[in-house]
Structure 1
Amino acid sequence: MSDDAGPDALFTVLDEGRVRATELARGPWDPRALHGGPVAALAARGLERALASHAGPDDPAFRPVRLTVELERPVGLDPLTVAAEVTRPGRSVRTAELTLHDEAGRRLARATLVAIRVRPEPLDLTGAVLPDDPTPPPPTGTAAPTWVTGGGPAFHSHAVRHSFVAGSFMDLGPSTDWIRLRVPVVAGEEPSPLQRVAAAADFGNGVSAAVAHDSHTFINPDLTVTLVRDAVGESIGIAATTRVDPAGVGSTETALWDERGRIGLAVQTLVVEPR
């Protein structure tokens, strides 16, 4: 449940294939448009459901390994149509694709999820050379101050809890933040590990700003997440760094963590503009 009175989820299901966002899904740039995190989490939900519906009773387990979301138009608070299908029903690799449309039929976003078969017997990695990825300090018990925007409740300030261990919304430069959803993506459903990661990963550019929020916008038209395993626990750690070129193009790279260690990487491209 949310810490404040109001909606108890990011989205409400209207009927099969249609949802409506609540105020808790709104973004910081425009109170009429959603944050990318809820859109990515909604896409993850739809893609996972498509893959699950395709699986047969004797199929092996498949693990989501790459989620790509392209945010083509602002996604608002009006009803949304979510359509997903399996486009590659492979034996070792499966792919599902999803589109998000508004009531006028305009495509607002599209997404792809790649899943890889989990081996029934673990690999012998005795001789493997693997990187040493020290886990960031654990999340603190105190919620961090958030980027204050007008227009009421928003995703970054009311639907998630931030626990920074380096940097902050108010500081420029790289930062490390543990992020926990306060509400589910859809009412009555426990968020999956992929949904939690998708919701957190889209914060990379916001928490590691290279230019000030009050002088520039740096909106990401996409998000790509790659994972080597499912996240464990409710908190997702992100260690983000943003780079910006004078041409107005930027990029954010975000290392992803859970309570057990490194789980993957997220990348966002950025359109950087003066206000």
Structure 2
Amino acid sequence: MSKYHTADNLYVDNVTLMVKDIDKSLKFYTESLGLTLLNNKSNIYELGTKKRVLVILIHNENALPKERTTGLYHFALLLPDRRFLGQLINHFIVINQKIVGGSDHDVSEALYLSDPDGNGIEIYADRLDTLWKYENDEIVMSTEAMDYEDLIKHAYNAKWTEMPEDTVMGHVHFHVTSLINAGNFFIDTLGFNQMLYYGTSALFLSNKGYHHHVGLNTWNGVTAKNRADNMVGLVGYHLNVPKDEEEALLERISFSKREILNDENGRYIVDVNKVKIYF
């Protein structure tokens, strides 16, 4: 398991999505991605690996289709190593799974695709952190062509049947309307650190030196509306908070004047996009 995604790290460890067609969604997440259905109660379905829940689906057959809003750009599943990424590429070729593309980001190699409701997904493998580069105290990340041939060449020689059990939620990337406001919230209130200001439209944040646990961008426009409550997309996400940092987080939340609320899923606050953050 990644040392940047343990109980001692501040990071998003699962996401909750509203979907319209649960049969289509379950087929995609279990057969195409290889996640396991771990629990189902009423209209809520928990999927992940044998070790952890990664994605929670809320079925709403009357949900509105995806629109250009704030909220989820993509959630990113981090594989244990790049040989799994090559194996997954082979699997997608066999089942004819459509992808949006693939990129080499210097720190990682990543595939991009969408679920049946248009929720963005990244599946990636990190390069060793000893190979990460820095300039002016910021991580160096770029977007170059992925070397599919090399990934396939070094892939595990086995049929893809399930997501590796050490897969984690590597990061979550959000559409926001203001990098300043969103950055202040994720840094000053939640406790993340700035890793890279990418041009004028994206910001990457992390905890304890990871290249990024959170991405923020304004690519849907600075006037984008928040997702409607009955629209497919990101409903909430869970923040893993190290035990020795919980008191400090509660103090920062109090100082920010944000209200801590409770529902059937536990305590939460709302982020800059009015999305629930459970912790």
Give the TM-score band, short-chain normalised.
under 0.3
TM-score by length of structure 1 reads: 0.24
Kindly indicate which of the two structures has a greater share of residues assigned to helix: 2
The structure with higher relative contact order (CA 8 Å, sep 6+) is 2
